[in-house]
A = this chain, B = another copy of it.
Amino acid sequence: MTTYTANPELDLVLERTVDVAPELVWRAWTTPELIKQWFAPKPWSTTACEIDLQPGGRFDTTMRSPEGEEYPSSGCILVAEEGRTLVFTSALGAGFRPQVSEDGFPFTAVVRIEPDGDGTKYTAIAIHADASAKKSHQEMGFHEGWGAALDQLVEVMKAH
């Protein structure tokens, strides 16, 4: 899985090098108290997060809109290779239970963390069932949203 190659027809990819060490990026992605500080692009916020860091464990977050409405979403961790690769999916919930996606299409996220000098080569891949789900996710602002969240992650972990 660490060698996963994105399929350009079906996947969306955000790849950037950031000047935060790989272990801090890993910690930011796997610690609920940290997730709450960076996961939702402002002015949205993340009001709750539960992570059970093992295959089959939950990856649940609740985002709050600027208007104060809350959007819980739940997912399931598939791969947790410490410091390197986190994979989770919204197609399953805790205990690998299938679940219907609230936002209309399920996706699997691969977060790959590689050392790059003192920083990290960061690759986030969103894997979809078909080209129409990819297109919907792209139009919802995948690159802008995940990019802004990564900026927040960097800011939080530098202050950490």
Contacts and interface: CB of A to CB of B under 8 A. Distances in A.
A92 B95 contact: no
A90 to B, nearest CB: 8
Contact of A91 (B4, B91, B105, B133): B91
A92 B109 CA distance: 13
A87 B133 CA distance: 26
Chain A contact patch, size range: 20 to 34
12 contacts: A1-B95, A55-B79, A56-B78, A56-B87, A89-B91, A95-B127, A96-B127, A98-B107, A98-B108, A98-B127, A98-B129, A100-B129
A118 B30 CA distance: 43
